[in-house]
Amino acid sequence: MKKISLLVLFLSLVGCKKEYTPENKMKEDVTFLADDKLEGRGTGTEGERKAADYIAKRFKDLGIEGKGTDGYFQDFTFTPKTDPHSEAKYTSVNEDGSITGRNVLGFIDNNAPQTVVIGAHYDHLGYGGEGSLDRSEEKAIHNGADDNASGVAVMLNLASKLKETNTNNNYLFMAFSGEEMGLLGSNYFAKNATIPTDSINYMFNMDMVGRLKSDSTLAVYGTGTSPYFKQVISSSNKGFKIIENESGVGPSDHTSFYLVDIPVLHFFTGQHEDYHKPGDDSEKLNFDGMNMISEYIFDIITDLDDNGELAFRKTKNESEETPRFKVGLGVVPDYLYDGEGMRIDGVSEDKPAITAGLKKGDIIVKLGDSTIVDMMSYMRALSVFEAGNTTKVTYKRDGKEATAEIKF
């Protein structure tokens, strides 16, 4: 009888395998990454190294193995561009003025033929410099809570969720360095991948996903890069107002993967007045919104899990059609606005727009002789002006049209 009781106890213990519970540390992750102690996580700085060590430890604590060239890390050295029209150059040795960035890679191996890449850049602007929109004379730390500690936090949250689910793909989680200096980390990986690039099924990129607005508008770019995407982002949607863009080319790391024929999606909650300024801090983030976005992306991955290898499709490169400008209004466009005209999401100090009295929320419907119906028509209209020109701008505010004079 005693032997039978022991056998029953043994079998019950074997059958009671502890169920894995995904953890949610998004607020903790953002708070660490966007702390002043990391001094803005500039590429190649000590602050960025601390961030890389933190992300690697998070992977390790989740039981996710490293997939870099040195454990969790993939270092790359480059010489920065010397003028706006040149490009940074990768180098195999440290030279005068060179910088070493560090990608951080974690891998879930499900012994599957394909791998899904889930990425977010973790570098930011340090104390400002090139790329900063802050016009104050004093240097200030740019913490980059939304850009892009938010994306890293969602990436780590997805790593936790995918630890023991959706096993028809492997998962490579990547925190990219050098994005702010020209997509350098993702570009380097695409050319020096630590897994065969032909095994990459698709790539999801999260960049600035921490400021979901009250209308739950979420931009999803790259929807035309695979015939599967449009249907699945619609069927998985449980409350977002989705703004779709088909192009696989854009100002973030998904572009590096699209350019080597990998389907991509990029998730983005829009620009704001703190973009590339010292005010982009963690207390301003919508963590409930980040949870919603993480769940949404997880649902999309779940829907795609049984689809096998996704077909890749080239899309129209809108960046090739973008006009060149000699002047600017000094506004931040609302990229999530899908109405007629161009809605202003922010106005810079000492620029033509603020001098003319334009404010956040105004919708520009005419610039000079050109009617503005969307972002592209706004850019085309702006491209014809030069410094010293004067023109009229017509805008809507609270449903009423008004006109102001603009001097460039």
Q: Is residue 19 situated within a structural domain?
A: no
Asked whether residue 129 is domain-assigned, the answer is yes
pLDDT value at residue 273 = 87
Instruction: Examine the fold and report which residue of 318, 349, 375 is the final residue of a domain before the chain moves on.
Output: 318
Q: Give the per-residue pLDDT at 6.
A: 52
Which helix (H) or strand (E) segment holds residue 244: the answer is: strand 241-245
Distance CA 312, CA 230 (A): 13
> What is the per-residue pLDDT for 86?
59
Residue 20 domain-assigned (yes or no): no
Q: Is residue 296 part of a domain?
A: yes
What CATH number does the domain containing 348 carry?
2.30.42.10
Predicted local distance difference test score (pLDDT) of residue 177: 98
Check residue 125 and give its pLDDT. Answer: 97
**Pair 366, 313 in one domain:** no
pLDDT of residue 80: 86
pLDDT of residue 280: 97
As a whole number of angstroms, the distance between CA 33 and CA 183 comes to: 19
Q: Specify whether 360 is located in the same domain as 259.
A: no
Please indicate, yes or no, whether residues 134 and 200 belong to a single structural domain of this protein. Answer: yes
> Concatenated DSSP letters for 141-186?
----IIIIIHHHHHHHHHHHHTTTS-TTSEEEEEEES-GGGTSHHH
Is the domain of 384 the same as that of 292?
no
Of the residues 248, 283, 318, the one at which a domain ends = 318
Q: Are residues 135 and 196 in the same domain?
A: yes
pLDDT, residue 321, reads 58
Q: What is the pLDDT of residue 337?
A: 85
Considering only CA atoms, which of 250, 227, 226, 229 is closest in space to residue 335? 250
The residues of the chain scoring below 70 in pLDDT are 1-20, 82-86, 317-323
Give the helix ranges, DSSP H, for 268-325.
287-304
**Enclosing domain of residue 350:** 323-407
Number of domains in the chain: 2
- Which of 91, 13, 4, 77 is CA-nearest to residue 43? 77
Question: Quick check: is 196 in a domain?
Answer: yes
Do 135 and 262 sit in the same domain of this protein?
Answer: yes
- Token digits of residue 19: 């169920």
pLDDT at residue 109, rounded to an integer: 98
Domain boundary among 318, 343, 359: 318
